[in-house]
Amino acid sequence: MSEATETIGVDLGGTKVQVGVLAGVETLWESREGSREQSQDELVELIVREIEAARAARPDAAAVGLGIPATINQARGEAIAAVNLPLVELPIRDLISERVGLPVFLDNDGNVAGLAEHLYGAARGKPTMVMLTIGTGIGGGLILGGQIFRGATGAGAELGHVVIQADGPPCQGNCPNHGCVESLASGTALGREGRAAAESAPDSAIGKLLAEGVDIDGLVVTEAALAGDETAIGVFDLIGSRLGVACASFANIFEPEAIVIGGGVIAAGDLLLDPCRKEVRERALTPMNETPILEATLGNDAGMIGAAALARTELEKQS
C-alpha cells in the first residue's frame, strides 16, 4: 500500500456530494452533485451512483472513504444523527459497501477534512491540530498525536456544538443546544447577520443589494466584504470574533500546534481570521494565546481528499 494506491473519497455535505478518485493528494477523477432536500434513501442512491461512475472511470480504486456531517458509531458503521441532513441511525457503511462491492470506511466530515489538512495541507507536520469547517454548519475534526480522535464510539469531535453563549439563540437542525458556535458563526449565521446589517445600513453595498431584491446570504456578504464594503466587513468582524471565542476554548483545551479553518466561509480569508486571531490572543492562557489560526489550504476539496486518505490509511492498517 502506498500513496500510489487509488481510493475513492466521498464528501457528503449539507448541499452537495463531491466524489473523487485519488492517489495521495492527486485527484484522478472527480464529480459534484447537489444533495439539497433529498431523503435518506435518495442520498444513498446518489452516493452509490457517483461511486459507480468513479469506478467506471478508474477501475483500480481499492476502497471508499465516506465523510458525512453526522455523529458516527464506528463499531456499527452507522450515521446516528446529522444536524443538516435527514440521516438517522443509518448503517450507511454496510449499505454502500454491499451495493458497490468495495470496502467502505466511514467518518465524520470534519474528521476527514482534519486528516487531509494534517497530511497534505495547512497543518502538515503538526500532530496535534484542530480543524473547523465552516459551511451550512460548523464541522469539527481532531488530530491528536497524529491520529483522528473520535471519542468513545466515534461520535465525538462535534466542535461546532461547543457553547460560546449559554443564553444564545437555538442551534439549527437537530441540535437541541443554545448558543453553540455553529448557531452564531456558521455560514447560516453569516447570512442572517448579513441580512440584519443590510437592513440597518441601506447605503452600504449589501444594503443596496437588499433593496434590489437580492437574497443576502453568506456568499453575497463575502463578495461584498472582499470588494471593500465596510458593512459587510463589519459582519465578518462579528462572525470572526465569535469564532475566536470558540477557538480560545479549543486552544485552552488542546494546546494544539494549529487550528485550521476551512469550509465555504473561509473564502473571506483574513477578514474572517484576523478578528478570530485577536480573540484567541486576548482570551487564551499563556502559551495557548499564540496558537496559529491557519486558513485551510485544500479548500473545498479537503473533505474528499481526507475521505480518500481515510480509506487508504485504514486499508494500510488492515494489510
Residue 284 within binding range of a second copy, rule CB under 8 A: yes
For residue 298, the tally of other CB atoms under 10 A from its CB is 20
Pairing of strands 6-12, 293-295: unpaired
Shortest Å, Cβ 163 to a second copy: 5
Judged by CB under 8 A, the chain residues 45 through 74 that form the site for a second copy are 71, 73
Residue 163 within binding range of a second copy, rule CB under 8 A: yes
Shortest Å, Cβ 285 to a second copy: 6
- State which residue, 49 or 283, has the beta carbon closest to a second copy: 283
Judged by CB under 8 A, the chain residues 201 through 230 that form the site for a second copy are none
How does DSSP classify residue 137? S
Q: Are 204 and 198 in contact (CB under 8 A)?
A: yes
Stretch that binds a second copy, among 16-24, 48-56, 248-256, 292-300 (CB under 8 A): 248-256
Q: Are 142 and 111 in contact (CB under 8 A)?
A: yes
Give the Cα-Cα-Cα angle 128, 156, 142 (nearest 5 degrees).
Answer: 15
* Inter-axis angle of helices 230-254 and 187-200, nearest 10: 150
* Sheet containing 88-90: order of strands: 71-73, 78-81, 88-90
Residue 153 within binding range of a second copy, rule CB under 8 A: yes
The torsion defined by the Cα of 290, 168, 186 and 155, in degrees rounded to 10, comes to 80
Backbone angles phi, psi at 145, to 5 degrees: 60, 35
- State which residue, 9 or 240, has the beta carbon closest to a second copy: 240
Shortest Å, Cβ 246 to a second copy: 8
- State which residue, 279 or 301, has the beta carbon closest to a second copy: 279
Cell numbers 494506491: residue: 5
Buried b (16+ CB within 10 A) or exposed e, 156-193: bbbbbbbbbeeebeebbbebeeebbbbbbbbbbbbbbb
Stretch that binds a second copy, among 14-22, 43-51, 136-144, 198-206 (CB under 8 A): 136-144
Shortest Å, Cβ 84 to a second copy: 13
Shortest Å, Cβ 281 to a second copy: 9
Shortest Å, Cβ 249 to a second copy: 4
Query: How many angstroms separate the first and last alpha carbons of the chain?
Result: 8
Per-residue string for binding with a second copy, 9-48, x by CB under 8 A?
A: ----------------------------------------
Q: Locate the DSSP E strands across 55-103.
A: 64-68, 71-73, 78-81, 88-90
Shortest Å, Cβ 202 to a second copy: 28
Residue 253 within binding range of a second copy, rule CB under 8 A: yes
The type of residue at 5 is T
- State which residue, 21 or 293, has the beta carbon closest to a second copy: 293
- Measured between alpha carbons, how far is 165 from 184 in angstroms, rounded to an integer? 9
Residue 185 within binding range of a second copy, rule CB under 8 A: no
Q: From the list 7, 18, 204, 249, which residue makes contact with a second copy (rule: CB under 8 A)?
A: 249
- Measured between alpha carbons, how far is 271 from 273 in angstroms, rounded to an integer? 6
Judged by CB under 8 A, the chain residues 111 through 130 that form the site for a second copy are 128
Interface with a second copy by CB under 8 A: which residues? 71, 73, 80-81, 83, 128, 140, 142, 144, 149-159, 161-167, 174-178, 242, 245-246, 248-249, 252-257, 282-289
